[in-house]
Amino acid sequence: MLDVKWIRNHAEEVQRAADHKGIAVSIAELLLLDNETRQLRQETEQLRFTRNSLAKQASDYARSGEADKLANVKQQGAHNNSLLGSLEGELKAQQKRFDELMLLVPNIVSPDTPLGRSDEDNVEVRQVGILPAHDFEPLDHVELGKLHDIIDLPRGVKAAGSRNYYLKGAGVLLHRAVQQLAIDLIARKGFTLLEVPVTARYETMLGTCFFPLGADQAFRLENEDKWLTGTSEASLVMYHANEIIDVTAPLRLAAASNCFRSEVGSAGRDVHGLYRVHQFAKVEQVVLCQADPDLSEAMLQEITANAETLLRLLELPYRVMAVCTGDMSQKTYKQYDIETWMPSRKQYGETHSASNLHDFQAKRANIRYRDEEGKLKHCHTLNNTMVASPRILIPLLENHQTADGSIRIPEAVRPYMNGIELLRP
């Protein structure tokens, strides 16, 4: 979150960020509420001081037996307390509204973030790899899944409803193989691996900026203040919430976990196959570092490069996109998406995302460090999808298929597939 004093000095920039991100919040209203709340707080404190002073006078007059003065002071006290009660109620209501608006205020965006309204306005940074030149009519991943008996969508729907699936046999092996390959890769890069909770309390989702704006994307456990997480980012960041940590060297954390999303608002979109499902597995990178813009920019490039390394090991063509303002979340300062070529869609599809949040998230979660002068500062935080499956299975199956329907297993994946080099129908 942003500091209200900073917002006051950069009101136009913050309002512009809200407008570009499609967040309905009035910075002018927020600042007016801030003024009114501070004024009410001052008046309330003065009335509390008067209350205490009158109470002391009443005590003194009671001891001295000065009945007339005691009665007068009690009358003044009753009037003061009536005003205090009214102001306290008004202050509570104003503070509540102010806090609600503060939770809607977005992070500003980096100077090099492209302007735009949706993912159609994202800007290509680079393309890597050669698109497959199939000399046959390629099958899509659903057809390949049926052919190899490794994906069962109808039974997934039967068991759990729409946007659910079963993976079978080699499909499960491939699903787990890409995750383990990703884990091993970032472990060698110095990331600390954690096994994390996949449920979170409301304050965890709020403290990591997934709520309140993203609450409709999360599944809530009935009759509990617990939610299924859509990414281990929430648990990884919250690990150090309300702590003062050592970030002399950036903290690199990672987790592989099951993730859940309601996909509210995506009705009718990407309903075919495994692209947009309710349950999936994700390997996530999270970095906490000093509040140095150059350092966090370097960390953004690093975690993006890690995901690109994985895609090259999977022998998949992809492109890196600079995400525009209209496609960014509330908390994001700068973002890259990586889109992998999906032959059945005849286009690239998003498979990875990397974001630099500056200190926006750390302020909500209250994660701080001491700088060289001993001054407390909030960390910069970053996150990246190292791999998400089963979505990554779409390009894996489709790009590596052969004319007879077989699927070639990339060399880097074979050790995690018991040495299997080719899946035959």
| Peptide linkage before 212 cis (omega within 30 of 0) | yes
Nearest to 397, CA basis, from 422, 372, 377, 375:
422
User: Of how many residues is the chain composed?
Assistant: 425
**Active-site residue identified among 8, 41, 51, 276:** 276
- Which of the following is catalytic: 252, 350, 364, 389? 350
Helices (H), 103-240: 141-148, 153-160, 170-188, 202-207, 233-238
Known active-site residue 276: yes
d(CA 210, CA 231): 10
Clarify whether 370 is annotated catalytic.
Answer: no
Find tokens 């690990």 and name the residue: 239
Residues 417/173, Cβ–Cβ less than 8 Å: yes
How far, in Å, are 34, 97, 103 from residue 3 at the CA level?
12, 16, 11
Contacts of 78 (CB under 8 A, 6+ apart): none
The token pair that represents 340 in the structure block? 């992998």
Is residue 212 a contact partner of residue 103, using CB atoms and an 8 Å limit?
yes
- Non-local (6+) Cβ contacts of 125 within 8 A are 319, 320, 321, 322, 336
Is the Cβ–Cβ distance between 377 and 291 less than 8 Å?
yes
Active-site residue among 163, 261, 364, 368?
Answer: 261
Residue where the block lists tokens 């499960």: 172
Q: Give the SS3 label for residue 16.
A: helix
**Catalytic residue check, 353:** yes
Question: Nearest CA to 175 among 277, 328, 246, 28?
Answer: 277
* Four-point Cα dihedral 345, 350, 351, 352, nearest 10: 170
- What residue type is assigned to position 337 of the chain? D
Catalytic residue among 232, 257, 329, 353: 353
d(C-alpha 222, C-alpha 225), whole Å: 8
| Residues identified as active-site | 261, 276, 350, 353, 391
